Amino acid sequence: MSAPVFPARRPAIRRARHIAAASLAAFVTAAIALHLLRPELDPVASQMSLYLIGAWGPLLQIAYVALGVGMVALGWALREAHAPPARSAAALLLFALAGMSLSITAYAWMDMPGLDRSLESLIHGVSAQGAFLFATTGTVVQALAFLRDPHWRRTARWALPWALLCFASVWILAAWRDAPRGLAQKTVVVLILGWMVCVSRALAKRMR
């Protein structure tokens, strides 16, 4: 069943989806490149925040901001592609808050191991946790919106369980203190990015 997307909105939705796809691709490319450019950091033990500090840090900062923009663009495109009764302003707001939190995280550095805790590090930690919580809650709210639109219910069959897994993984990451911090955090990031990539592809099919 094809969605009744108004022709006048299609170009804007496509542009927003392209922005989201480019932002996701830029973040993934930057993250992979940094792991190759910073061999002194253990990828299993080192959190993404450590890659913000030192050589090539600005590359990841830009990628964080780009990802934040992409999340907002994807949230807006999904909202516009739904039938009016199923549009979720809450999901868009949560993605916007996640994007804002990511930008703060990028420019408020964490403290290096062994140093006294600073206000900047506290801001970094709060914004990083906020980014995870806002993003994963946004995926759940958006997936529930899929259920309210009969044209998106097939997408909800996989998008909702995946979103719930993303949401649960954040709390597992917070509770499992003995887990390798770098690997555990990056696993959650991959789950969230994977959901967004697949939802973006589903949106692209609808726009055809």
99 is a domain residue: yes
196 within domain boundaries: yes
Q: What is the DSSP string of 29-43?
A: HHHHHHHHH-TTS-T
Has residue 2 been placed in a domain? no
d(CA 132, CA 104): 13
Between 53 and 198, the higher pLDDT residue: 198
Position 3 pLDDT exceeds 80: no
pLDDT at 116: 58
**Domain membership flag for residue 1:** no
- Domain-located, residue 44: yes
Alpha-carbon distance of 77 to 57, in angstroms, equals 30
Helices (H), 108-150: 119-148
**Residue pair 3/153 in contact by the 8 Å Cβ criterion:** no
Query: What is the count of structural domains for the chain?
Result: 1
Q: Give pLDDT, residue 139.
A: 97
Q: Is residue 22 part of a domain?
A: yes
CA 57/CA 107 separation, integer angstroms: 10
Range of the domain at 165: 7-207
**Are the C-beta atoms of 43 and 182 separated by less than 8 Å?**
yes
Question: 9 or 91: which carries more pLDDT confidence?
Answer: 91
Residue at 72: amino acid letter = V
pLDDT digit string (tens) for 87-137? 889 999 999 999 999 999 999 877 666 655 778 888 888 999 999 999 999
Q: How far apart are CA 91 and CA 54, in angstroms?
A: 35
Confidence class for position 55, pLDDT limits 50, 70, 90: confident
Can you tell me whether residue 54 is helix, strand or coil?
Answer: coil
Q: What is the pLDDT of residues 34-44, one digit of tens each?
A: 999 999 999 99
Residue 122 inside a domain? The answer is yes
| 3-state SS assignment for residue 195 | helix
Section 20-49 average pLDDT: 93
For the entire predicted model, the pTM comes to 0.90
Whole-angstrom distance, CA of residue 41 vs CA of residue 35: 8
pLDDT at 2: 46
pLDDT in tens, 159-204: 999 999 999 999 998 888 888 888 999 999 999 999 999 999 999 9
What sign does the CA torsion over 94, 95, 99, 100 have?
Answer: negative
pLDDT reading at 154 higher than 60? yes
Query: Exposed e or buried b for every residue in 134-150, given b needs 16+ CB within 10 A?
Result: bbbbbbbbbbbbbeebe
pLDDT at site 1: 45
Instruction: Report pLDDT digits (tens) over 57-74.
Output: 999 999 999 999 999 999
Please answer whether residues 23 and 66 qualify as being in contact, where contact means their C-beta atoms are separated by less than 8 angstroms: yes
Task: Please report whether residue 17 resides in a domain.
Answer: yes
